[in-house]
Amino acid sequence: MTRGRLALMGLLVVLTGAVTWMTWPRADAEIRILPDGTARLRDADGERPLPDTVVITKRGWRLGDRRRITVVNTDDRDHTLAMLRVTAGERRAYDVPTGRFGGQCTAHPAAGALVLDIR
């Protein structure tokens, strides 16, 4: 094999890896419910306690207008976070459309409600 062909093959491998990495489905946000029943949000802004209103924007390059939210429940009971429901010990990914959604939130004992603003 010539050097030119080896270089071309190497470039093809690197480009394939780059395209795969850019298009690999990953969550725009992750909500982790802790064993004490409280929740934390991890998104492009970092990790913090789950606020009453969550704004979720597109993270990375992806076709379509849906956003992916992953909910990880490490608590020993089921939880409802607005329109998202997750059973005890479960990890679930949701692909949600853009819009504003609200509802009951069992991870907010004081307020009891959560608003998801999907952009």
Is 10 contained in some domain?
no
Q: What's the pLDDT score for residue 62?
A: 58
**DSSP classification of residue 2:** -
- 71-111 residue pLDDT tens: 999 999 999 999 999 999 999 999 999 999 999 999 987 77
Q: What's the pLDDT score for residue 32?
A: 97
Is 5 contained in some domain?
no
* Counted domains in the chain: 1
Q: What is the pTM of this model?
A: 0.76
Range 44-70 burial, b when 16+ CB lie within 10 A, else e = eeeeeebeeebebebeeebeeeebbbb
CATH, residue 111: 2.60.40
Q: What's the pLDDT score for residue 71?
A: 97
Is 43 contained in some domain?
yes
Which amino acid, residue 106? Answer: T
Give the domain range for residue 105.
Answer: 25-118
Is 9 contained in some domain?
no
Is 8 contained in some domain?
no
Is 16 contained in some domain?
no
